[in-house]
Structure 1
Amino acid sequence: MNTNYLAEVKTRKTFAIISHPDAGKTTLTEKLLLFGGAIREAGTVKGRKNSKHALSDWMEIEKQRGISVTSSVMEFNYSGYHINILDTPGHEDFSEDTYRTLTAADSATMLIDVAKGVEAQTIKLFKVCRLRRIPIFTFINKLDRQGKEPFELMEELEDVLGIRSYPMNWPIGMGQDFCGVYDRHNHKLELYNPNNPNDIDVKDVSGPDDPLIDELINDEALVNQFREELELLDVAGDQYDKDKIDLGELTPIFFGSAISNFGVQTFLEHFLTMAPSPTPRNSSQGIIDPLEQEQFSGFIFKIQANMNPAHRDRIAFLRITSGTFERGINVNHVRLGKSIKLSQPTQFLAQNRSIIETAYAGDIIGLFDPGTFRIGDSLVEKDTFEFDEMPHFSPEHFAAITVKEALKHKSFEKGIHQLTEEGAIQLFQTYNKVIEQQIIGVVGVLQFEVLEHRLKSEYKVDIRLERLPFSFARWIVGDEKDMDTFKRMQRNLVTDRDGRIVALFENEFQMRTAQDKYPNLKFYENSYIKA
């Protein structure tokens, strides 16, 4: 095994940041980029009148709404490590994009608002991380505001998420009384200056009983409380266990304030020493371990149209799972069964990108996509194995879609096709109807708004959406005779982009009735069925 290759792979850290909306995820991402020198100043999603916006929120609708609606990829170097951050949408209506993005991550950082604790979307995203058994690092944010007590938050992690925790540092005070944090491993005291949060004074101390702490924090009650809490933590808390962290059974906790830039660098430096390098992936040929295989392989986990509106281009995001990528490499496109040349690879800072010559296992690269790729495609050098399927979800909201101006029909079809390929929406065609109708299915209703906005801004097309009463879609597979009967008798049938029969149901009762009536047919919830 090439020693240079192994050294490059071991410096890679690829992780996703997950949270409920408004927990401060985009702010944390940008502060991490600041430390890496990737940007000179952080944007802000606060206040629509402000001309600055979060770098990772690059879509116009994201800037207007102050939320992330699509995953962003950002890469930078820090302290000898090559870091790939996957910043995911926190809003539940875009959870499918987040779920797929998590398949490209080797670990996750879970961001929690100190005042709100574990919230609904955090629970959903955590479950996906738990299923993948990846390490989860917790950053408890907004300590400069009043919130829940640290022990209460730890208890919440265990009761709600079922994961034990180990605080790497411990706060002294909170809100107006917030004085700083104590690093349990390195015996350092980081002092918080409310008048200038960027002015972080770090002091070496012998331990929590060091008299220097009393001198630096002139509040006897607060210091006594801090020492009592640490003593309780040492006696009753979980012990640091790297094996449990690696298995996702124990989460290291860091306290800080992303907006104030307090605790972020400490988190980053601990994280880089603890988080895994690129991890193995399952394939049709078994486990593909980047530390044992130098042959290039990777999979497409995201497709994004119009990242550069001036060029109307489309980019496929590829996670390299093994080997070295060289610009111009020839690979097997396994689904299509043909060899293709990858000649325009890019790396990212949100929508900003630059051509690269070389990349390694763990890296995320962008490939120019003329319509060749689909989410889940495997690209392999000198082989034909495929990686495990991407997670897909059945739409829960449906609408009939038409274009307002007939002259814009060509642009409309192009836009719908490209946005369908991204995986944010699913397009259906009515089956056995005198008047054909196109139907859009989405996981979250906010996706309708994003669809309407993007068609107008990126393709200059105005549309009409007529909401339909369906809540379930099921892909129907079975014996040809039974299928013929089903297609004649069943109402509300559509076909997907590959011509497969899909039944739409208004409620679970309707769906169960159909399943009972046609016991020889299979009703698949998954929106992607391999042939």
Structure 2
Amino acid sequence: MSTQLLKEINKRKTFGIIAHPDAGKTTLTEKLLLFGGAIQEAGAVKNNKIKKGATSDFMEIERQRGISVATSVLAFEYKGFKINILDTPGHKDFAEDTYRTLTAVDSVIVVIDVAKGVEEQTEKLVEVCRMRNIPMLVFINKLDREGKDAFDLLDEVEQKLGLKVTPLSLPIGMGSQFKGIYNIWEKNIQLFVDENKQKVGEAIKIEDVNDPQIDQLVGAQFASNLRDELELIESVYPKFDRDAYVKGDLQPVFFGSALNNFGVRELLDAFIQFAPMPQPKETDVRIVKPEEEKFSGFVFKIHANMDPKHRDRLAFVKIVSGTFKRNENYLLVRENKKMKFSSPNAFFADKKEVVDESFPGDIVGLHDTGSFRIGDTLTSGEKMNFTGIPSFSPEHFRFINNADPLKAKQLTKGIDQLMDEGVAQLFTMEMNGRKIIGTVGALQFEVIQYRLEHEYGAKCSYEPIHIHKACWVEADEKSEEFKEFAKLKQRFLARDKKNQLVFLADSSFTITMTQEKFPNVKLHFISEFRRS
């Protein structure tokens, strides 16, 4: 193993930011970029959404709605580290995109709104992280607003999210009384230095909490409260242990206000000290370690038309091992074909640039003419597939119809490409070839319609269809039992984009009865029980 490769691996931190919509995730992402010097000014995210959306919101529809629809990749350098952020959609209708993105991160920052506390979408995403033992760090945001008591929030995070927390910073006051933050991790205090609470002063080192300087800085009452709270923290919460954090057993908590730059630097400084470097990943053959010399990586996202002027599709590849080099031949395992890439992109804030080589932990964007699918594995030649990038059964289904007969070709191409991106899933009925779109949330139908029209010049309409669940079928297709099942259920059978057989069940009762009647025909709610 080359020392150069090891050095590059140790420099990299790749993480995702997850939150409920409006918890301030996009603002936090932008402020992190600001601290990293990757952007010069913060976009007016809140008050000027349409004209100047935040740096990480690529698509037009996102700018109009002010929600992150597509996962963006942002990278910057900070204190000798290369930091890759995967910004994820907070909106529940785009949960599947977020689940897949979580396969490409080595750690996660969970953003929670101080007033709203733990919300439903956060619970679901944290559950996925817990299932995968992804290290999590919690940032409680918007302390400049009136909100819940810090200890009530810590209890809520433990109870609702099932986490074991340890606070590494603590707010002094809140809302209109918010003075600043005491950083337990670095033993310092940071205060506002102007009346409007827009400017943050330099951190003041405080080795001992009984130092009378605290009373002078924040007033006797606030100083007294702070001492009581720190005493409580010491007696109630475990000490921070990096190993427990990396294993996903302990979650450090920071407080701040991303909008006012408060607590963001502290979060970033602590993060680079203890967040894990790129981690090993499982394939269907073996576990791959980052320090292996040979390149391997997987596609976790495909983004069509990032620039509507050019019909470009980018496949986002997370590098797992070795060094990825421009113009070298790599094997696309599913197709068993060699490919080379003359202009692989790296992402620096909102800009893309061509790179000659990339290392484990990095995300590269590969220009794609339609060869890639989500979950594809690229290697230096070894035949293996990275696992853990499933499709989930959608929750909403509609027939999709062509609303402009002259644009049939454009519609087919548009649907094909959007489905490769993982925006939704496409099922083609076995009986009559009709196309059904399945999505996690109803808003995705609107996004598909909008993008088909604006990016492909095609129009579609939808027709309701009653489906409870899409079940992937695992069975011996030559057996008599399967033949009887297929005959009886032919009106409900379809193929997905990978040509896997899917049973579109109209109720949970139907699923139960089918499984009782045909015990050897297994039904799965997740597509990844075998590889096509």
TM-score bracket, shorter-length normalisation? over 0.9
Q: Distance in 2 between matches of 1:199 and 1:508?
A: 56
1:209 corresponds to 2:206: no
Q: Does 1:450 align with 2:451?
A: no
Of stretches 146-155 and 49-58 in structure 1, the one that deviates more from structure 2 is 49-58
Q: Alpha carbons of 1:117 and 1:264: their partners in 2 closer, same or farther (altered >3 Å)?
A: same
How far the C-alpha of 1:269 sits from its partner, in A, is 0.9
Q: Is residue 2:465 matched to residue 1:468?
A: yes
Q: How does 1:369-388 map to 2 (within 5 A)?
A: 369-388=368-387
Number of the residue aligned with 1:76: 76
Please state whether the residue corresponding to 2:203 is helix, strand or coil. strand
Instruction: Give the alignment of 1:394-405 within 5 angstroms.
Output: 394-405=393-404
Could you give the per-residue CA deviations for residues 266-297 of structure 1, whole angstroms, max 9, x where no partner exists? 11011101101111111233221113x12111
TM-superposed deviation, 1:465: 0.9
Deviations 1:445-493 (A, max 9, x none): 1111111111111112221111212121112232323232222222322
Does 2:237 align with 1:237? Answer: yes
Q: Does 1:323 align with 2:322?
A: yes
- Asked if structure 2 preserves the Cα contact closer than 8 Å seen for 1:48 and 1:64, the reply is no
* 2:208 maps to amino acid: G
1:20-42 alpha-carbon deviations (Å, 9 max, x no partner): 11100000000001111111112
Kept in 1: contact 2:76–2:349 (CA 8 A): no
Counterparts in 2 of 1:196 and 1:505: CA distance versus 1, 3 Å: same
Matches within 5 A, 1:167-206: 167-193=167-193, 194-206=195-207
For 1:272 and 1:469, how far apart are their aligned partners in 2?
49
Kindly state the Cα deviation for residue 315 of structure 1 after the two structures are TM-superposed.
Answer: 0.6
In structure 2, how many angstroms separate the alpha carbons of the residues matched to 1:154 and 1:285? 41
Runs (5+) with no aligned partner, structure 1: none
Tell me the CA shift for residue 131 of structure 1: 1.5
Question: How much does 1:240 deviate?
Answer: 1.5
Amino acid at match of 1:472: K
Mapping for residues 284-363 of structure 1, pairs under 5 Å: 284-291=284-291, 293-349=292-348, 352-363=351-362
Contact 2:33 / 2:349 at 8 angstroms: preserved in 1?
no
Look up the match of 1:504: 504
Kindly state the Cα deviation for residue 200 of structure 1 after the two structures are TM-superposed.
Answer: 2.3
Structure 2: state its 5+ residue gaps.
none
- Matching residue of 1:421: 420
CA–CA distance in 2 between the matches of 1:518 and 1:310? 52
Identity between Structure 1 and Structure 2 (%): 48
Tell me the distance in 1 between the aligned counterparts of 2:279 and 2:270: 19
- 1:47-102: per-residue Cα shift (whole Å, max 9, x none)? 46752111111111100111011111001111101010000001111111101101
Partners of 1:200 and 1:262 within 8 A in 2: no
Partners of 1:416 and 1:167 in 2: CA distance? 47
Mapped partners of 1:8, 1:257: distance in 2: 32
Partner of 1:139, secondary structure, is strand
Corresponding residue for residue 439 of structure 1: 436
Kept after mapping to 2: 8 A contact 1:197/1:262: no
Counterpart of 1:213, as a letter, is I
Q: Equivalents in 2 of 1:381, 1:238: separation in Å?
A: 45
Post-superposition offset of 1:254: 0.8
How much has 1:373 moved relative to structure 2?
1.1
State whether residues 166 and 237 of structure 1, in contact with CA within 8 Å, keep that contact through their aligned partners in structure 2: yes
Cα distance in 1 for partners of 2:215, 2:350 equals: 48
Q: Distance in 1 between matches of 2:285 and 2:405?
A: 49
Counterpart residue type for residue 172 of structure 2? I
Structure 1's 523 and 285: CA in aligned 2 closer, same or farther, altered over 3 A? Answer: closer
**Structure 2 CA distance for aligned equivalents of residues 35 and 378 of structure 1:** 34
> 1:244 deviation in Å?
0.8
- Once residues 232 and 505 of structure 2 are traced to their aligned partners in structure 1, the CA distance between those partners, rounded to angstroms, is 55
Q: Does 1:364 align with 2:363?
A: yes
SS across alignment from 1:267: helix
Q: How big is the shift at 1:349?
A: 4.1
Q: SS state of the match for residue 73, structure 1?
A: strand
SS at match of 2:329: strand
TM-score, with length taken from structure 1: 0.96
**Is 1:45 the equivalent of 2:45?**
yes
Structure-2 change in CA distance of 1:516 and 1:350 (3 Å): farther
Q: CA deviation at 1:312?
A: 0.8
- Aligned equivalent of 1:227: 227
In 1, Cα distance between equivalents of 2:293 and 2:501: 42
Matched, 1:114 2:114: yes
How far did residue 510 of structure 1 move? Answer: 1.8
Once the two structures are superposed, what CA deviation does each residue of 1:335-392 show, in whole Å capped at 9, x if it has no partner? 1112221222001246631111111111000001111111111111132222114122
CA distance in structure 2 between the partners assigned to 1:330 and 1:216 by the alignment: 62
**Residue 129 of structure 1 aligns to which amino acid in structure 2?**
C
**Which residue identity lines up with residue 276 of structure 1 in the other structure?**
P
Aligned with 1:138: secondary structure?
strand
Tell me the secondary structure at the aligned position of residue 189 of structure 2.
Answer: strand
CA gap of 1:465–1:350, structure 2 versus 1, over 3 A, is farther
- Which residue type is aligned with residue 486 of structure 2? K
Equivalent residues in 2 for 1:50-61, closer than 5 Å:
51-61=51-61
Please, which moves more after superposition, 377-386 or 69-78? 377-386
Tell me which residue corresponds to 2:254. 254
Residue pair 2:49, 2:66 contacting (<8 A) in 1 also: no
Contact 2:167 2:253 in 1 (8 A): yes
Contact kept, 8 Å, 1:477 with 1:483, in 2: the verdict is no
Amino acid of the residue matched to residue 441 of structure 2?
G
The residue aligned with 1:523 is: 523
Closer, same or farther in 2 for the Cα pair 1:212/1:380, shift >3 Å? same
1:58–1:350: 8 Å Cα contact kept in structure 2?
no
